[in-house]
Amino acid sequence: MIRTCPVLVVDDEETLRDSVSQVLTREGFAVKTAASGSEGLAVFGDGVFSLVLLDLRLPDMDGLAVLRRMKEASPETPVVIITGYASIESAVEAVKQGAFDYLSKPFSPDELRVAARKAADNRTLRLENIRLRREMRPSREFEPIIGAGKSLRGVIDRIARAGPTDSAVLISGESGTGKDLVAREIHARSRRREAPFVVLDCGGLDEPGLGGELFGYAPESGFGPPEGRHGRFELADGGTLLIKEVSRLSSRLQNDLLRFLETGEVFRAGSARPISADVRLIAASSVNLSQAVSRGAFRDDLFNRLNVVPIHLPPLRERKEDIPPLVEHFLKMHSAKAGKAVASVSTRAMIVLAEYDWPGNIRELDNTIERAVVLAKGGRIEIEDLMSHGISLGIPALAWAGGQFRPLDELEKEYIQAVLRDQNGNKGRTAAILGIDRKTLWAKIKKYGLERRESS
């Protein structure tokens, strides 16, 4: 187990409470106990538990009433009923009302261990399902970090050093440089690798929604849904939380995040009780946070807490030696996805790809290769398959192939042909893209014999 699972035992028999506590403590659980229903509800309300063991016969309350109140407050927390043989029917009724399972007295330590582990694992699965439904986005297979340049080797070295620790990591870099990928690689190298990896992108959210997504809503608090809602910290418990575009957090949320880093506790909106969360925090930003601190837009103490292990991802234009292996990777991936046998990139097309500045970085290159694979007519990506994306900004590179410059007329012919094809033969749109009038376009079409291609 990655962390100690908190368990609550509610039973009026002191001997049973002690024996259950001893068995579960040896199994790595952190056990709290209560001798009555009212005490159990009070303890339950002050913490977050992976499991509750609840006796049906309590001196002050009906055990079923305690069960109902616990399930209303925290539906995902499994409750295992403890009952005597004569009360099996009541235990079955409890299961119908939401109890996870029941143990009949007297039970052995092995029976207790199995029931506790199954219940705790069930809670983990339920929270994982909540997290997956919350993200509501198509998943992509985990992609490796591609490249062999000096700058990327430095990044990979930092990932290797930071991964096994629990230190906070701050990943900086322009949009599209692969910050998510680096965060996932850090998680994969950590002791938390089997626990959840949860992501919150602050870029598309504003308060109060951002605070609710991050820390959750308490039930019946007047904030969020009436039944309450888990925040990303709760969903990431035991694992890693990536906060993207952390610079978008308001002053209040920056303060709340700093409090977590100092205490390990968060507060749901509308609740005065803290929730402990064992979370490894990774922050990412396309904004220079150091400059944001200088402007007074970001807390200096929070920046220092997040920046324990800084990792900067250079833009693709500064690591062009990594473009060929990235192209090869995306080509294989999108060819398989499209069901097409596009196996290579022409020399001239690769030159253009290497010389383009890629303002959208790796994400733009990924999208470009996907589009080129779809447009490709044969088994190789040609220059014409790149033109519609605007890669023609690198047109000077088109003149150089195989150690020789090509005639300007030849380049012009290929370019006009590519734009015509992209515009499905529409002369008006083609002329507008080329920056010439229709009369001039017609003249060039006739000059290069393209009217025969258009009519075929």
Condensed to tens digits (0 to 9), the pLDDT of residues 112-122 reads 988 888 888 77
Q: Which of 314, 337, 357 is the last residue of a domain?
A: 314
Residues 348, 218, single domain; the answer is no
Residues 95 and 208 in one domain: no
Domain check: are 323 and 303 in the same one?
no
Same domain as 187, residue 70:
no
The answer to whether residue 27 sits within a structural domain is: yes
Report the pLDDT value the prediction gives residue 388, as an integer from 0 to 100.
54
Q: For 333-339, what is the mean pLDDT?
A: 91
- Is residue 260 one of the residues assigned to a domain? yes
pLDDT at 455 exceeding the cut of 80: no
Residues 170, 81 share a domain: no
Average pLDDT rounded to a whole number, residues 304-312: 96
Domain count within the chain: 3
Residue 134 belongs to some domain of the structure: no
Is residue 63 pLDDT above 80, yes or no?
yes
Residues 369 and 412 in one domain: yes
What is the Cα 30 distance to its own chain's centre? 29
| Distance spanning both ends of the chain, measured CA to CA | 68
Q: Burial code of 218-251, b = ≥16 C-beta within 10 A, e = fewer?
A: bbeeebbeeebbbbbbbbbbbbbbbbbbbbbbee
Q: Are residues 155 and 267 located together in one domain of the fold?
A: yes
The larger pLDDT score, comparing residue 292 to residue 353, is at 292
- Whether residue 241 sits in one domain with residue 331: no
Q: Which tokens hold the place of 211?
A: 């605070």
Last residue of a domain, one of 294, 314, 334: 314
142 in a domain, yes or no? no
Instruction: Give me the pLDDT at residue 395, please.
Output: 47
Which residues, including other chains, have CB under 8 Å from residue 241's CB and lie 6 or more apart? 198, 199, 200, 232, 233, 279, 280, 281, 282
CA distances from 78 to 6, 22, 218, 406 (A): 12, 20, 19, 73
Residues 6+ apart with CB under 8 A from 455: none
pLDDT digits (tens, 9 = 90+) for 388-414: 555 544 444 444 444 445 566 776 787
Domain assignment of residue 15, given as a range? 5-123
60, 183: one domain = no
pLDDT computed for residue 275 by the predictor: 82
Structure tokens at 371: 């589009």
pLDDT over threshold 60, residue 1: no
User: 67 lies in a domain?
Assistant: yes
Say whether both 274 and 344 belong to one domain.
Answer: no
* pLDDT at residue 260 in the model: 93
Domain contains 411: yes
Q: Is residue 145 part of a domain?
A: no
Q: What is the pLDDT of residues 192-238, one digit of tens each?
A: 988 889 999 888 777 777 888 888 877 765 665 655 678 889 888 88
pLDDT, residue 205, reads 74
Please name the residues in contact with 271: beta carbons below 8 A apart, sequence gap of 6 or more: 218, 221
Hey, which of 69-78, 132-141, 289-298, 339-348 has the most confident mean pLDDT?
289-298
Q: What is the CATH classification number for the domain harbouring 81?
A: 3.40.50.2300
Answer yes or no: is pLDDT of 454 > 90. no
Same domain, 67 and 182: no
Examine the fold and report which residue of 104, 123, 142 is the final residue of a domain before the chain moves on: 123
- In this prediction, residue 315 carries a pLDDT of 93
Does residue 31 or residue 135 have the better pLDDT? 31
CB-CB contact of 413 with 450 (8 Å): yes
* Average pLDDT of span 122-134: 65
152 token code pair: 């990327």
Calculate the average pLDDT of the chain.
82
CATH of the domain at 171: 3.40.50.300
User: What pLDDT is attached to residue 452?
Assistant: 60
Percentage of the chain with pLDDT > 90?
33
Residue 81 structure tokens: 């009923």
pLDDT at 293 over 90: yes
| Within a domain: 25 | yes
Question: Which of 10, 84, 87 is CA-nearest to residue 53?
Answer: 10
**CATH number, residue 405:** 1.10.8.60
Per the DSSP assignment, residues forming a β-bridge with 34 are 10
Are residues 388 and 308 part of one domain? no
